[in-house]
Amino acid sequence: MKVLWVEDHAPVRDMLAIAADKAARSRVQVDLVMAPTLMAAESRLRLERFDLVVLDLGLPDSLDPDMTIARIANMGKYRIAVVSSMDTRDQVVDSALRCGANIHPKAVFKAGLPFNRFIQRPDTFEDFLMDLMPTAAGASTLSVRAA
């Protein structure tokens, strides 16, 4: 699974990089690419194909969380997941769902993530990312609705 994680806080990026390195050494199939800003994320999305984009809403170059999701959602076909400490994260995700975005229906509170566990047990990092992806049943339901 190829994941673009958009995160502006360097300590969080550092922990995620360690978790991704441990995952690679354990042969867990996670290819993690980091982007510190929305502009950097858009640049990566133009050049590479991703399965999942994990998005922080409080980015230095995008102050409007709804617009942040809209810009990312309009760049390709991948799943989006919000991992943020913003108080409005759940409302922003609900709004994106109503607009038809391919987004995980629940925002994740970033401060509650078990970064140390992701580092110590790479399979938990992979499990966390897989839980953000649509289920097979959900994917077939979406295609039936579209038809």
What architecture (CATH level 2) is domain 2-146?
Answer: 3-Layer(aba) Sandwich (3.40)
Q: What is the pLDDT along the chain (147 residues), one digit of tens a residue?
A: 999 999 999 999 999 999 999 999 999 889 999 999 999 999 999 999 999 999 999 999 998 999 999 999 999 999 999 999 999 999 999 999 999 999 999 999 999 999 999 999 999 999 999 999 997 544 433 333 333
pTM: 0.89
Per-residue confidence (pLDDT) for residue 136, from 0 to 100: 56
Q: Which of 20, 68, 76, 18 is nearest to 45 (CA)?
A: 76
Q: Rounded CA gap, 1 and 5, in Å?
A: 12
Contact 140, 115 (CB under 8 A): no
pLDDT score, position 143: 35
From CA 53, how far away is CA 40, in angstroms rounded?
13
| Domains of the chain, residue spans | 2-146
The confidence score (pLDDT) of residue 135 equals: 77
Residue 83 has a pLDDT of: 96
What stretch of H or E contains 140? Answer: helix 136-146
Angle between helices 38-47 and 65-73 (to 10 degrees): 10
